[in-house]
């Protein structure tokens, strides 16, 4: 089922999500809803809190070399943690909770991560490139953070002003 995506400044986006304890049908149905919602909004990543569920669940589905987003590349990531991080990289990020806003954000370049799949199996791997960036962006959501918090003071001020205007105009 396609769910409503929470839009900034919805206060629920500030909640700190909790670990999943049961890898059961309820989790699987949450993952299905997240997948349908992400595809319906043309996103490459979604955290559960973006549909109002404060659980440590995120999904990422990057496009392949041909620019196609294939469902078989979908990553389901539960209770994620970053074990190690190296280097830095800047990339223009966007977010389904802040539509049409794109900003250069600095992240760690390479990360080693640990998480669980939908069946509760533990996975540990090294990520780089866009996968590493997307993982860090979505993990921030689980901790109640948004990418605009990483903007400089002046850029953030400009964003808030433009965003208020946009909401007022109902766009």
Residues in the site for Co ion, rule: CB under 5 A? 95
- How far apart are CB 94 and Co ion at their closest, in Å? 8
Residue with Cβ nearer Co ion (57 or 95): 95
Residue with Cβ nearer Co ion (60 or 95): 95
- For Co ion, the nearest residue by Cβ is 95
What are the φ and ψ backbone dihedral angles of 128, each rounded to 5 degrees?
-140, -170
Residue with Cβ nearer Co ion (120 or 156): 156
Catalytic sites, residue numbers: 138
The answer to whether 70 and 62 have CB atoms below 8 angstroms apart is: no
- How far apart are CB 32 and Co ion at their closest, in Å? 20
Beta-carbon count within 10 A of 131 CB: 18
Residue with Cβ nearer Co ion (50 or 79): 50
- How far apart are CB 127 and Co ion at their closest, in Å? 17
- How far apart are CB 97 and Co ion at their closest, in Å? 6
């Amino acid at each position: 089922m396609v769910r409503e995506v929470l839009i900034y400044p919805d206060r629920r986006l500030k909640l700190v999500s909790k670990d999943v304890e049961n890898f059961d049908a309820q989790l699987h149905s949450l993952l299905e809803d997240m997948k349908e919602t992400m595809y319906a909004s043309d996103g490459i990543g979604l955290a559960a809190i973006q549909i109002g569920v404060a659980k440590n669940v995120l999904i990422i589905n990057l496009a392949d070399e041909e620019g196609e987003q294939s469902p078989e590349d979908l990553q389901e990531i539960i209770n994620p943690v970053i074990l190690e991080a190296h280097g830095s990289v800047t990339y223009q990020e966007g977010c389904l909770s802040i539509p049409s806003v794109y900003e250069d954000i600095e992240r760690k370049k390479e990360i080693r991560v640990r998480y669980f799949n939908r069946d509760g199996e533990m996975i540990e791997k090294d990520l780089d490139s866009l996968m590493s960036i997307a993982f860090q962006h979505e993990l921030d959501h689980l901790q109640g953070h948004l990418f605009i918090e990483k903007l400089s003071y002046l850029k953030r001020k400009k964003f808030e002003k433009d965003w208020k205007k946009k909401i007022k105009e109902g766009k």
